[in-house]
Amino acid sequence: MNQYRILIDCADKKGLVFKISKLLFELELNILSNHEFVDSENQKFFMRSVVEGNIEEVSLREKLLEVLDDKVNLHLVSPIKKNIVLMVTKESHCLGDILIRYEAGELDANIVGVVSNYDILGPLVQKFNIPFFCVSHLELSRDEHEAKVLECLAQFKDIDYIVLAKYMRILTPTFVEAYKTKIVNIHHSFLPSFIGANPYKQAHERGVKIIGATAHFVTNDLDEGPIISQDVINVKHDHSWKDMQRSGRDVEKITLSRALKLVLEDRIFVHKNKTVIF
């Protein structure tokens, strides 16, 4: 039997869950799981259902839109593996964690390539038989370098997501627009605290007692995109900022992998600059 993830967000009104469930029953579709949420402040309805049966995608879409009878965002997603590209600079902890999960069959995706502005991580990537591409930024302006990166990415067909696994360069609006809503980043602080460069040094100077990491979608506002996942650990007064950095790497890789799992399973709705996650 075919299986689909049905993602719906629309204006809230009475009877939506009943109408949708009734239609799915009439179409002889089995609901394997169902989650819904109403944002009462914005009068928005969100629903994620996993169904199976003999599904005709076009017919199902048309009938759902008839039932909802409203302006609605509707996505029917077949749970096939998505294609992702990893982008990195020099640090290996997030990249290595993702590659190990991928090798172990824990990552529901196809890693079609790894792109870096240095060649340092090439040997690590090649151990997993994944194509590695070095697009050096040296002696190039930011725009020139990004143009070459975009040219490199263009060779991959149907990229579902780009994962910035410690890619330590700020992306321009041109790049973000080219892969709008498709870029996931890990930031090494508990946002909105310590935005920008050297957040561990900022945290140390502030004397914080916890440090964290934040996985978020990338927008043109630096480190302010919709948040997917966050986590923290305790630090002590005798930690230097480099001690904090070393401790924080574990949080970074776990937070990014957790966020990536949510993304690949289509569990995230973005509304304005916030997320609803099932």
CATH number for the domain spanning 47: value is 3.30.70.260
Burial of 137 (0-12, 13-18, 19+ CB in 10 A): middle
The model's confidence at residue 26, banded by pLDDT at 50, 70 and 90, is very high
% pLDDT > 90, the chain: 77
| Consecutive H or E run containing 100 | helix 93-103
Is 132 found in the same domain as 16?
Answer: no
Is 93 found in the same domain as 43?
Answer: no
Tokens 């009475």 correspond to what residue? 14
Average pLDDT over residues 173-179: 95
Q: Catalytic annotation on 97?
A: no
pLDDT tens for residues 76-117?
998 889 999 999 999 999 999 999 999 999 999 999 999 999
Number of domains in the chain: 2
pLDDT of residue 28: 94
Average pLDDT over residues 166-191: 94
Is 211 found in the same domain as 165?
Answer: yes
pLDDT of residue 70: 74
Cα–Cα separations (whole angstroms), residue 88 to 2, 122, 126, 162, 196: 36, 10, 14, 11, 17
Q: Given CA atoms 199, 268, 132, 255 in this order, what sign does their dihedral have?
A: positive
Question: DSSP class of residue 79?
Answer: -
pLDDT of residue 197: 74
In CATH, what number is assigned to the domain containing residue 163?
3.40.50.170
pLDDT tens for residues 45-85?
999 999 999 988 888 899 999 988 778 999 999 888 999 99
Is 153 found in the same domain as 131?
Answer: yes
> What three-state secondary structure class fits 271?
strand
- For the record, the structure tokens of 151 come out as 């040219």
Cα–Cα separations (whole angstroms), residue 53 to 28, 30, 57, 76, 238: 7, 6, 11, 14, 59
Distance CA 236, CA 203 (A): 12
Is 261 found in the same domain as 170?
Answer: yes
Is 136 found in the same domain as 69?
Answer: no
270 vs 222, which has greater pLDDT? Answer: 270
243 vs 176, which has greater pLDDT? Answer: 176
Is 139 found in the same domain as 23?
Answer: no
Core vs surface per residue 20-34: b (16+ CB within 10 A) or e? beebbeebebeeeeb
Using the 3D structure, point to which of 16, 44, 77 is the last residue of a domain.
77
Domain extent at residue 238: 82-277
From the list 9, 223, 231, 250, the catalytic residue is 223
